[in-house]
């Protein structure tokens, strides 16, 4: 692919190189340090805190991996950093600035911006503000094309991608619209975003949309989440790189 060759140069560790059996928790410093040691690029998730900080965490609420309960968006960054993980009481939820300091450009970073599809632009604004001072290889992506359209407007040179899958889940108000209007709104925002790459569900490949994006538009295609060598061999025909979990390619 002609641009952003660093994005596809190495397999990408999904939420870092985590291993629950060994107490290495996803999206924590331990998982990111392990990925760096293995020479893997890092994929991770960002959520917004009540006071506008970008927090490195997949779920929008506490409880699955952590002690406590409550939505991240209703808690301050300081309160979230005090939360303990069940499997490792020493691990903490990182802020994006802390993640950038930890990685320091040693491997590529792929940041998924989580969205409630409600037009809230705080997470993308804070992420771009932090990345303006980061000098390593980094890209942002989201299921929400409106977020990537905002990213394009604020930081047009920053690589941005769309995360997608064949199945449609409950993504909030946008999906509450009638199907025709929903598709039209999505396509309009996608056109405004002008993604530089696509991250598509491995289980849903091959698919016409990703094929067209890769072959006709020459956009790099990442396949997520690949969980074994057999799946990697299957998607190698359709994708340029994998986002993996549960094994080491």
pLDDT in tens, 47-95: 999 999 999 999 999 999 999 999 999 999 999 999 999 998 889 999 9
What CATH architecture is 5-244? Alpha-Beta Barrel (3.20)
The mean per-residue pLDDT over the stretch 108-120 comes to 96
Whole-angstrom distance, CA of residue 60 vs CA of residue 153: 26
| Confidence grade of residue 181 (pLDDT, cut at 50, 70, 90) | low
| Confidence grade of residue 201 (pLDDT, cut at 50, 70, 90) | very high
* Mean pLDDT lowest among 88-102, 157-171, 193-207: 157-171
Domain boundaries, the chain: 5-244
- Does the pLDDT of residue 197 top 50, yes or no? yes
pLDDT of residue 179: 63
3-state secondary structure of 190: helix
- Does the pLDDT of residue 115 top 70, yes or no? yes
pLDDT of residue 4: 82
- Positions of E strands within 60-174: 94-95, 109-113, 138-142, 160-164
């Amino acid at each position: 692919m002609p641009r952003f060759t660093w994005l596809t140069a190495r397999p990408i560790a999904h939420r870092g190189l985590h291993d629950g059996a060994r107490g290495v928790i996803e999206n924590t410093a331990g998982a990111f340090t392990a990925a760096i040691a293995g020479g893997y690029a890092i994929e991770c998730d960002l959520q917004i805190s009540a006071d506008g900080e970008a927090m490195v965490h997949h779920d929008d609420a506490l409880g699955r991996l952590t002690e406590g309960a409550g939505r991240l968006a209703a808690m301050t960054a300081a309160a979230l950093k005090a939360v303990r993980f069940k499997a490792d009481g020493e691990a903490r939820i990182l802020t994006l600035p802390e993640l950038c300091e930890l990685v320091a450009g040693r491997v590529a970073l792929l940041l998924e911006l989580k969205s409630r599809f409600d037009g809230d632009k705080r997470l993308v604004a804070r992420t771009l503000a932090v990345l303006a001072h980061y000098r390593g290889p980094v890209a942002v992506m989201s299921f929400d094309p409106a977020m990537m359209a905002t990213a394009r407007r604020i930081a047009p040179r920053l690589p941005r991608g769309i995360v997608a899958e064949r199945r449609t889940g409950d993504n909030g108000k946008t999906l509450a619209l009638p199907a025709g209007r929903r598709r039209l709104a999505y396509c309009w925002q996608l056109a405004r975003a002008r993604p530089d790459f696509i991250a598509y569900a491995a289980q849903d490949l091959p698919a016409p949309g990703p094929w067209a994006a890769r072959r006709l538009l020459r956009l790099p295609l990442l396949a997520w989440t690949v969980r074994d060598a057999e799946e990697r061999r299957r998607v190698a025909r359709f994708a340029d790189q994998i986002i993996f979990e549960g094994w080491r390619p």
